[in-house]
C-alpha cells in the first residue's frame, strides 16, 4: 500500500472504532521479527509503522515485546493454524496427498505434517483468525481466514482484507483485484 492508501485505511478503521497507538519503530520491527521468528510483508510493515492497531482482536506487537504474557499469546496465535491442522488430522481425517501415505500412528502423522508445515510460507496473524503469508516477501499477498483446515481468502490483499473485515468501501486509489496471488499450501487447501 502507498502512503495515501494506508492513511485512508487507518482513517476508515478509526471510523469503525479501531484504536491505534503510534506506529512501530524500525527497531521495534526488528525486535519483533527476531523474537517471533517472522518477517512482516512490506505492506503490513508499512501499515504497522504508520499506526499500530491495538483494539481487541488485533495483535499488539509492541506489548509482545514488553510482556511475557502477551508474548505467549502472540506465539499461540502464530502456532494456532498448525494446532488446527493437527486437530483435523486427529478428528476429521485431514491429510494432504503430498505428505505421502497416511499412517495408523497419529503421532507419526503429526510429525510428518509438522515437517511439511515448516516448509510452507509462514503466516502472520493480523486480526482474530486472519493471517497474511510472509512469503513471497512482497506487497499484495492475500489474507486468509484460517480455522483449522477451513481456509478461505478473506482479502486478495491487505487493503481489500480490511475493507472486507470491517465493512467499508475502498476509494478509486486502490486497484481492482480479480484474483489473489497463489500461495503454496494455504491457497491449495482453501475451502
The pLDDT tens digits for 106-163 are 999 999 999 999 999 999 999 999 999 999 999 999 999 999 999 999 999 999 999 9
User: Taking all residues of the chain, what is their mean pLDDT, rounded to a whole number?
Assistant: 95
Domain ranges in the chain are 3-166
Give pLDDT, residue 191.
54
Tell me: the pLDDT tens digits for 11-41? 999 999 999 999 999 999 999 999 999 999 9
- Is the sign of the CA dihedral 128, 37, 65, 138 positive or negative? negative
- Is the sign of the CA dihedral 178, 181, 184, 186 positive or negative? negative
Joined together, the cell numbers standing for residue 40 give: 512482516
Burial label for 65, CB within 10 Å (0-12, 13-18, 19+), is middle
pLDDT of residue 1 exceeding 80, the answer is no
pLDDT of residue 174 exceeding 60, the answer is yes
Nearest to 145 by CA among 113, 191, 92: 191
Amino acid at each position: 500500500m502507498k502512503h495515501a492508501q494506508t492513511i485512508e485505511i487507518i482513517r476508515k478503521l478509526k471510523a469503525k472504532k479501531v484504536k491505534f497507538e503510534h506506529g512501530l519503530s524500525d527497531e521495534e520491527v526488528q525486535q519483533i521479527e527476531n523474537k517471533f521468528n517472522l518477517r512482516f510483508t512490506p505492506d503490513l510493515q508499512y501499515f504497522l509503522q504508520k499506526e499500530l492497531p491495538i483494539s481487541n482482536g488485533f495483535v499488539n506487537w509492541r506489548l509482545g515485546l514488553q510482556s511475557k504474557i502477551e508474548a505467549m499469546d502472540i506465539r499461540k496465535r502464530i502456532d494456532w493454524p498448525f494446532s488446527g491442522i493437527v486437530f483435523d488430522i486427529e478428528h476429521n481425517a485431514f491429510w494432504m496427498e503430498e505428505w505421502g501415505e497416511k499412517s495408523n500412528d497419529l503421532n507419526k502423522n503429526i510429525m510428518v505434517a509438522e515437517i511439511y508445515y515448516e516448509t510452507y510460507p509462514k503466516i502472520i496473524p493480523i486480526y482474530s483468525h486472519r493471517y497474511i503469508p510472509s512469503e513471497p516477501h512482497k506487497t499484495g499477498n492475500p489474507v486468509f481466514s484460517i480455522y483449522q483446515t477451513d481456509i478461505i481468502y478473506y482479502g486478495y490483499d491487505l487493503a481489500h482484507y480490511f475493507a472486507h473485515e470491517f465493512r467499508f468501501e475502498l476509494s478509486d486509489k486502490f486497484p481492482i483485484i480479480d484474483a489473489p496471488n497463489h500461495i503454496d499450501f494455504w491457497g491449495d487447501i482453501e475451502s
